[in-house]
Amino acid sequence: MNFFRQKAQASPIYARVAPYVIFILLTVAQEMFGEAARYWIYLGKTIVGAWLVWEMRSFVSEMRWEISTEAVAVGIGVCIMWVGIDSFYSHMGSDQSPWNPRAQFGAHSTLASVFIAGRVLGSTFVVPPIEEVFFRSFLYRYFVRTDFQQMPFNRFHPTSFIVTSALFGCEHSQWLAGILCGCAYQWLVISKNRLGDAIAAHAITNFLLGFWVVSQGAWKFW
């Protein structure tokens, strides 16, 4: 058994927090080694993230996708909101260059297509389970009680709802959209009394946003 599995089996907190922390550290590393390196690091981060999700599956029982009408509606609605309100507020880190592999490697280069595909797939299938498990399964409940697994998903706690959504928003440069997004996903968890609908909604949002970015050349959203 590898080190991650040993730690995850021994600690429910580790199983839910470590993948997110590793993913964030790799995200920070993207900006540390030059413009071209950020794309390679993102691709590597996606591969590592996929492995972490695979390893988590045995220890995080709530990490099961659930496709429901509400999940689809929230996923689509959040994407529309994310794009629609973009011009009405200032973003964090707006001085950074957008993530645009076509500008970096050439509009028709195979390498650019690989990085774009990697980002779309990663944001659709890797990011949602890692983030939803951390924010909506662990953090939201841990703020209320340290034995967080004993807290049902359908319990509404106003302070934890606000704080968790705010923290989720602040990890995005589009912080306001991120906060509203976090509120929507948390509402899904509470109303459905499970995590899977939020994972599915998050995946739908990210996939549609990725499609919008690539089809419209709206690289600022990445």
Give the pLDDT band of residue 187 (cuts 50, 70, 90): very high
- Dihedral class, residue 118 (left if φ above 0, else alpha if ψ from -120 to 50, else beta): alpha
pLDDT beyond 60 at 1: no
pLDDT beyond 90 at 165: yes
* Contact partners, residue 76, CB within 8 Å, separation at least 6: 204, 205, 208
Give the pLDDT band of residue 221 (cuts 50, 70, 90): very high
Residue 94, pLDDT score? 63
Q: What span, in angstroms and rounded, lies between the C-alpha atoms of 170 and 31?
A: 18
Torsion of CA 170, 160, 142, 124, to 10 degrees: -50
Residue 20, pLDDT score? 97
Alpha helices in 57-90 (DSSP H): 69-84
Tell me the pTM.
0.95
Residue 34, pLDDT score? 85
Q: What is the pLDDT of residues 33-80, one digit of tens each?
A: 888 899 999 999 999 999 999 999 999 999 999 999 999 999 999 999
What are the structure tokens assigned to 222, written together?
């990445």
Q: What span, in angstroms and rounded, lies between the C-alpha atoms of 103 and 93?
A: 20
Backbone angles phi, psi at 115, to 5 degrees: -65, -40
Q: What's the whole-number mean pLDDT along residues 144-172? A: 97
